[in-house]
Amino acid sequence: MIELKNIVKTFNTKNLNIHAVNDVSVTIEDGEIFGIVGYSGAGKSTLVRIINQLEKQTSGTLIINGEDISKLSNNQLRKKRQKIGMIFQHFNLLWSRTVFRNIELPLEIAGVDKETREKRVVELIKLVGLDGREDSYPSELSGGQKQRVGIARALANDPNILLCDEATSALDPETTESILDLLSKINDELGITIVLITHQMEVVQRICQRVAIMSDGYIVELGSVKDVFARPKHEVTKRFVQNIDSGKNIDRLQKDLKALYPNGEIMRLTFMGGNSDKPIIAGAIKKTGLLVSILDSNINHTKLGVMGFTYLHIPNGDESKTNEFISYLVENDVKVEVV
Ligand SMILES: Nc1ncnc2c1ncn2[C@@H]1O[C@H](COP(=O)(O)OP(=O)(O)OP(=O)(O)O)[C@@H](O)[C@H]1O
Ligand SMILES: [Mg+2]
């Protein structure tokens, strides 16, 4: 369990004092995947750097697995830190070392003997799916593969916590999904607690159980991912939730839907905020009598009106009715694309 109690971090620079983290109190449970979301400068990185004590808090208490971190000697702290792995947006690999030697590094630092090290590295390479690439250099790897090396390295000393700072932000949507699948597997199989920082709400939606939204150093909202998505309260949260579709792997979703519904038409409706509260889809169904199914949807009720998208399936049949259906939607300010 990671307990943050009234954590404050102030950077005193020449011209001003920056309050990077303001009175943050939160408890992260063992084995959960906990998301931290916020815009640039919100204090997310500072907060996770406090968790592994790369940064010391100005005030407040950090308790990890029942131990008050401020009470540890340097030696105890070093040991504790080995049990907290971390991965980064830009991987932070050593370019002059092979995959194998990058993963081996933290074991060398921990003073593990050569034989044990090599055995462990082989296990880790298998775990992250890099078999056959052990002698490659980072420059010879794709972004996703580099992050796999980063993950293996972070897991080398058997940590019980893994901190991920924008670990998928430099990756394309497909690769992001594969890395998130790997993180889920690690969480599942090894029971490692994951604290995941991101500005991509869809990342949170995909793998986190709970999420904290940070703004100006404060946690402005905290709750289960489901609740936060269904009923975002704070303005910053609402903005994140609205943007969710923009980062979704639309190509993949559409391909999957096409495979599931090979017959008939699939349409993507975009609600752009101008729509009234009128039940538009119901209206179109009533008008045409078409038996339409909703396949996927992400609709948010914002101050600007209804925003989001919906995928509909219209069964094979009456072309003029289908056209009438589309016209009705378009008349009501809904963007319609046939997938
Ligand atoms: N070492 C430092 N010295 C001075 N100010 C700092 C330092 N580290 C961070 N800050 C400031 O603290 C605030 C929070 O920074 P932090 O890096 O934690 O934000 P973040 O949420 O991780 O942003 P991003 O999404 O861009 O990574 C920012 O205003 C930043 O300029
Ligand atoms: Mg950051």
Global pTM? 0.77
Q: Phi and psi at residue 244, in whole multiples of 5°?
A: -60, -40
Q: Quote the distance between the C-alpha of residue 239 and its chain's center.
A: 16
Confidence of residue 305 (pLDDT cuts 50, 70, 90): low
The listed range with the strongest mean pLDDT (98-107, 234-243, 264-273, 294-303) is 98-107
Q: Which has the minimum average pLDDT: 7-16, 51-60, 236-245, 282-291? A: 236-245
- Annotated domain spans of the chain: 2-247, 250-338
For the Cβ of 45 lying below 6 angstroms from any atom of ligand 1, the answer is yes
Give the pLDDT confidence score for residue 300 in this predicted structure.
Answer: 63
39 CA → ligand 2 middle, Å? 9
Summarised one tens digit per residue, pLDDT across range 95-139 is: 999 999 999 999 999 999 999 999 999 999 999 999 999 999 999
Radius of gyration of the chain (CA): 24
Please state, as a whole number, how many other Cβ atoms lie within 10 Å of the Cβ of residue 126: 11
Confidence of residue 303 (pLDDT cuts 50, 70, 90): very low
- Which of ligand 1's atoms lies nearest the C-alpha of 45? 22
For the Cβ of 40 lying below 6 angstroms from any atom of ligand 1, the answer is yes
Three-class DSSP category at 265: strand
Residues of the chain above pLDDT 70, percent: 93
> Which residue from 160, 193, 186, 189 is spatially nearest to 29, judged by alpha carbons?
193
Token pair recorded at residue 166? 């924008």
**Residues 6 or more apart in contact with residue 239 via CB below 8 angstroms:** none
19 CA → ligand 1 middle, Å? 9
Confidence of residue 301 (pLDDT cuts 50, 70, 90): low
- The CATH architecture that domain 250-338 belongs to is 2-Layer Sandwich (3.30)
Are 256 and 295 within 8 A, CB to CB? no
- Which of ligand 1's atoms lies nearest the C-alpha of 43? 18
Are 148 and 129 within 8 A, CB to CB? yes
Give the pLDDT confidence score for residue 33 in this predicted structure.
Answer: 96
Q: What is the DSSP string of 293-304?
A: EEEEEEEEEETT
Are 80 and 72 within 8 A, CB to CB? yes
- Which of ligand 1's atoms lies nearest the C-alpha of 217? 14
Mean pLDDT over 206-225 rounds to 93
State which CATH number among 3.40.50.150, 1.10.10.10, 3.40.50.300, 3.30.428.10 fits the domain covering 2-247: 3.40.50.300
158 CA → ligand 2 middle, Å? 25
